[in-house]
Chain A
Amino acid sequence: GAGVSQSPSNKVTEKGKDVELRCDPISGHTALYWYRQSLGQGLEFLIYFQGNSAPDKSGLPSDRFSAERTGGSVSTLTIQRTQQEDSAVYLCASSFSGPSTDTQYFGPGTRLTVL
Chain B
Amino acid sequence: GQNIDQPTEMTATEGAIVQINCTYQTSGFNGLFWYQQHAGEAPTFLSYNVLDGLEEKGRFSSFLSRSKGYSYLLLKELQMKDSASYLCAVQGTNAGKSTFGDGTTLTVKP
Are A and B co-members of a single complex? yes
> Are B98's CB and A91's CB within 8 A?
no
Total residues of chain A contacting the partner, CB 8 A: 27
How far does the Cβ of A57 sit from chain B's closest Cβ, in whole Å? 10
Q: Does any Cβ of B come within 8 Å of A108's Cβ? A: yes
Choose among B33, B44, B97, B102 the residue that contacts A56 (Cβ–Cβ < 8 A): B97
Within 8 A of B (CB), among A69-115: 91, 98-101, 103-109
Residues of A within 8 A of B42 (CB): 91, 106-109
B91 in complex: contacting residue of A41, A59, A99, A103, CB < 8 Å: A99
With A104-B45, A107-B42, A108-B42 as contacts: A59 and B95 at CB distance below 8 Å = no
In the complex the two chains form, is B45's CB within 8 Å of A103's CB?
Answer: yes
Contacts of A91 in B (CB 8 A): 42-43
Interface centre among B43, B44, B48, B94 (most CB of A within 10 A): B43
CB distance from A40 to the nearest CB of B (A): 8
Complex: how many Å from CA A24 to CA B104? 29
**B95-A50 in contact (CB<8A):** yes
- Residue B60 at the A interface, CB < 8 A? no
B31 and A101: CB pair below 8 A? yes
Contact A42 B96 (CB under 8 A): no
Inter-chain residue pair count (beta carbon < 8 A):
64
A31 adjacent to B43 (CB under 8 Å): no
Q: Are B48 and A45 in contact (CB under 8 A)?
A: no
A55: interface (CB < 8 Å): yes
Please state if A45 and B44 are interface contacts (CB–CB under 8 Å).
no
Nearest A residue (CB) for B95: A55
Other-chain residue from A45, A98, A105 in contact with B99 (beta carbon distance below 8 A)? A45
Chain B residues positioned under 8 Å from A31 (CB to CB): 96
Residue in A33, A43, A101, A108 whose CB lies within 8 Å of B96: A33
Contacts of B94 in A (CB 8 A): 55-56, 58
Task: From the candidates A42, A104, A106, name the one contacting B102 in the complex (CB within 8 A).
Answer: A42
Give residues in B with beta carbon < 8 Å to A: 4, 30-31, 33, 41-45, 48, 50, 87, 89, 91, 94-103
